[in-house]
Structure 1
């Protein structure tokens, strides 16, 4: 299976878990809390599978950067948390960094 598909799956599961973390209200609500725990365990497991083929620096930068961008979009739509200009600029820099790392980096797995 394509390692970048596996990485994308880890990112999506992490974003679901993080969204549920907000909904768990400090782990006081059972089902969102269950989604958080299962989601993070599954996300880290799938993330570890992508490390078989992609360097750890690229995996972690992509996972965390894409996660930040996607969770910000979820927060906008689910929780009505609208980013200001500084946040939008920061997110654009994160996206740029992830693209540069993935397109131009020559890092390889050892």
Structure 2
């Protein structure tokens, strides 16, 4: 399987697991808690497979950066968290950093 597809699966799974954390109520609710375990399990497994091909620095930058940005967007869209110029600027910086690390890693 393509390393970037595995990385995308990893990111989506990590965002799912992170999003479920809010719904666990301190791991008192079983279904969201199982969602966290499932999401993170798939995320780390797929990330480990992607690292067979991708460099650690680039893969982790993409995984962490896009995971953070997407999780913030889930918080805004699903959990109705506030969105303002500072959050937008932060998301732009995260995505810009991921792009720069990828450009730097390509040489």
TM-score (structure 1 length as normaliser): 0.91
Structure 2 alignment gaps of length 5 or more: none
The equivalent residue for 2:18 is: 18
Structure 1 alignment gaps of length 5 or more: none
**How many positions carry a matched residue from both structures?**
107
Map 1:1-110 onto structure 2 (within 5 A). Answer: 1-106=1-106
Deviation, structure 1 residue 43: 0.7
User: How far apart, in 2, do the equivalents of 1:101 and 1:5 lie?
Assistant: 19
User: How far apart, in 1, do the equivalents of 2:10 and 2:86 lie?
Assistant: 28
Where in structure 1 do 4 or more consecutive aligned residues deviate above 6 Å? Answer: none
CA offsets 1:18-64 (integer angstroms, 9 cap, x no match) = 11111111101000001101211111011000000111011111100
Deviation, structure 1 residue 104: 3.8
Across the aligned residues of Structure 1 and Structure 2, the Cα RMSD in angstroms comes to 1.2
